[in-house]
Amino acid sequence: MVSRVIPVDEFDLVIFGGTGDLARRKILPALFRRFCAGQMERGARIIGAARSEMDNEGYREFVREALREFGTGRACEEGTLEGFCKTLSYITVDARGTDGWSALAAMMKPGVVRAFYFSVGPSLFGDLAERLHQYGMADADSRIVVEKPFGRDLATARALNDTLALHFDESQIYRIDHYLGKETVQNLMAVRFGNMLFEPLWNAQYVDHIQITVAETVGVGGRGEYYDRSGAMRDMVQNHLMQLLCLIAMEPPAKFDPDAVRDEKLKVIRALDPVPPEDIVRGQYLAETDDPDKPGYLAHAENPRSKTESFIAMRLAISNWRWKGTPFYLRTGKRLKARTSEIAVVFKDTPHSIFGPEAGRHRNILTIRLQPNEGMELGVTIKEPGPGGMRLIDVPLDMSFAEALGPEAEEVPDAYERLIMDVIRGNQTLFMRGDEVEAAWAWTDPLIEGWEARGDAPVPYESGSSGPEDALMLMHRDGRRWREIRA
Ligand code: NAD
């Protein structure tokens, strides 16, 4: 059932920050799995580049160690690991200086796809782009991959885009949001635009509301100080939740091609209304009462006066013909009761129930689960089996991949695997375009400025809960309810 693996062209992939946390946990394990799947041509090369002094063998050992810790349990023989290690080399480079750059330029193979992954802090992006240009590596066929955060507001995002644009065309810039690489997210487009069934109902006439939840159980832990400068709005809503919202709400693009899809997403962001303060709830988690190892947000942030939110819930409105009148409820937070990401499209009640009031109220809900267990489920109403008259119940039509694909489900590539291979193929559909990022900030900035100017403080919420009570009220007052947060 899993589609055939088509090897990508030969490539040189340089990972700046190749010794960093992201490289160890995500990028290198993803590359290894694609290698195991047979997607890399002989001759593909991965070059780690970072400040640490290390030789090729040292880097291979570093990667073996990373794969032992973070490689998934998929079958991959020892021989394959050694084959993968042969694709690896390492060079010491200083993004801010001249060390290593000439040697890196000399290593580049002519005539193959050339990709540079910027897995370093954003303050180095400009330096890297500049050096690549200066040392002749920023040619028309090269691509750069950039990790979030893409700025912290519109001004910084613009400055970053402008810096990258000095040396690279937009068609060469791949801004990664790993949410977009998830199987289910793409399946969302397949379900919407590959079936006759859903699209005619996909509008304010038939959809009562849409809920998007991204819940985490972890707190901000060791990155408290960094997080305190950001908060849930900047860290999650402006990028991940906004991207999910766009895919749900966008018009059908004329073609499944990068710019056609991204043009439609951009229109959604531009059609978002400003959000009034009463439609935003911000929260901060409290300490876990019976676990001294789980302090509250303020202790984690080491800032007792912090007004940064670790939770946010909002009610959004999209002003266009399709969605006028259908609210979108978004929520995301840390230290919640389960780790889950899901989108629920809640359809309206039938206009009239022929079964009478005793049959109760039943609604179709399409649930798109991103984690755990990626998949989709459609709730349909049927007759409760057996005698005793016409009693109605809701049952799920389960479209989860694990069911449909059986043991092969675990061979479905994860987000990083798919996205990195898309970079090599030159397909930007699942990457954010510069104007999308800027439009998202242009919508976000006034909301943040608004609560900062008002001096609004987040409300506390219990660790392991569904967030603050006020967030529940956000829906209750509209006569609606959040879906339960559960794994
Ligand atoms: P990290 O601090 O673990 O690693 C940074 C890497 O950059 C190291 O390899 C270091 O040697 C290299 N480096 C630092 N200064 C350098 C210089 N002057 N010249 C050359 N190399 C230099 O960081 P990370 O967690 O791997 O994050 C990398 C980027 O990815 C950041 O922008 C981060 O925001 C983003 N990101 C990380 C994660 C994650 O899970 N770690 C998730 C999403 C986005």
| Per-residue tokens: 217 | 């159980």
- Tell how far the Cα of 19 is from the centroid of ligand 1, in angstroms: 8
Query: What does the alpha-carbon distance between residue 346 and residue 154 come to, in Å, rounded to a whole number?
Result: 33
Q: What is the Å distance from ligand 1's center to 119 Cα?
A: 5
Evaluate if residue 75 carries a pLDDT over 60.
no
pLDDT at 394 over 70: yes
The mean pLDDT of 285-292, rounded to a whole number, is 88
The finding on whether 52 has its CB within 6 A of some atom of ligand 1 is yes
Residue 404 has pLDDT above 70, yes or no: no
Long-range pairs for 472-478: beta carbons < 8 A, 24 or more residues apart: 473/281, 474/279, 474/281, 474/313, 474/314, 474/315, 474/329, 475/315, 475/329, 478/209, 478/315, 478/327
Residue 77 CB neighbour total at 10 angstroms: 9
CA 28, 33, 38: angle at the middle one, nearest 5?
125
The residue among 259, 311, 305 whose CA lies nearest residue 283 is: 311
Per-residue pLDDT for 425 more than 80?
yes
User: With bands split at pLDDT 50, 70 and 90, how would you rate the model's confidence at 41?
Assistant: confident
| Cβ of residue 21 lying under 6 Å from some atom of ligand 1 | yes
Q: For 372, what's the count of Cα atoms within 13 Å in the CB-facing half-sphere? A: 7
- The average confidence (pLDDT) of the chain is 93
The values of phi and psi at residue 120, to 5°, are -130, 175
> In whole angstroms, what is the distance from residue 446 CA to residue 442 CA?
7
Question: What's the Cα-to-Cα distance from 295 to each of 214, 285, 318, 465, 469, rounded to whole Å?
Answer: 22, 9, 38, 15, 20
> What's the whole-model pTM score?
0.93
Residue 70 has what pLDDT?
A: 87
Atom of ligand 1 nearest to the CA of 121: 32
- Specify the ligand 1 atom closest to the Cα of 26: 40
Residue 402: its H or E element:
helix 401-405
Q: Which residue has the tokens 């966008």?
A: 250
* Least-confidence region, from 43-47, 57-61, 314-318, 405-409: 405-409
Residue 144 has pLDDT above 80, yes or no: yes
How wide is the angle at C-alpha 437 spanned by C-alphas 260 and 254, nearest 5°?
A: 10
Q: How many CA atoms lie within 13 A of 128 on its CB side?
A: 25
Tell me the pLDDT band of 60, cut-offs 50, 70 and 90. very high
- The catalytically annotated residue of 167, 209, 240, 300 is 240
Centre of ligand 1 from the C-alpha of residue 159, in Å: 20
C-alpha span between 226 and 233 (Å, rounded): 14
CA distance 171 to 423: 11
Judged against a pLDDT cut of 70, whether residue 408 lies above it is answered with: no
Is it the case that residue 370 has pLDDT exceeding 70?
Answer: yes
Q: Note the helical H segments in 71-120.
A: 78-86, 101-107
Establish whether residue 126 lines the binding site of ligand 1, counting it when its CB lies within 6 angstroms of any ligand atom: no
- Altogether, the residues listed in the chain come to a count of 487
Tell me how far CA of residue 276 lies from CA of 182, 271, 316, in angstroms. Answer: 32, 15, 9
> 167 catalytic, yes or no?
no
**For 260-271, what is each residue's pLDDT tens digit?**
999 999 999 999
| Phi, psi angles (nearest 5°) of residue 66 | -60, -40
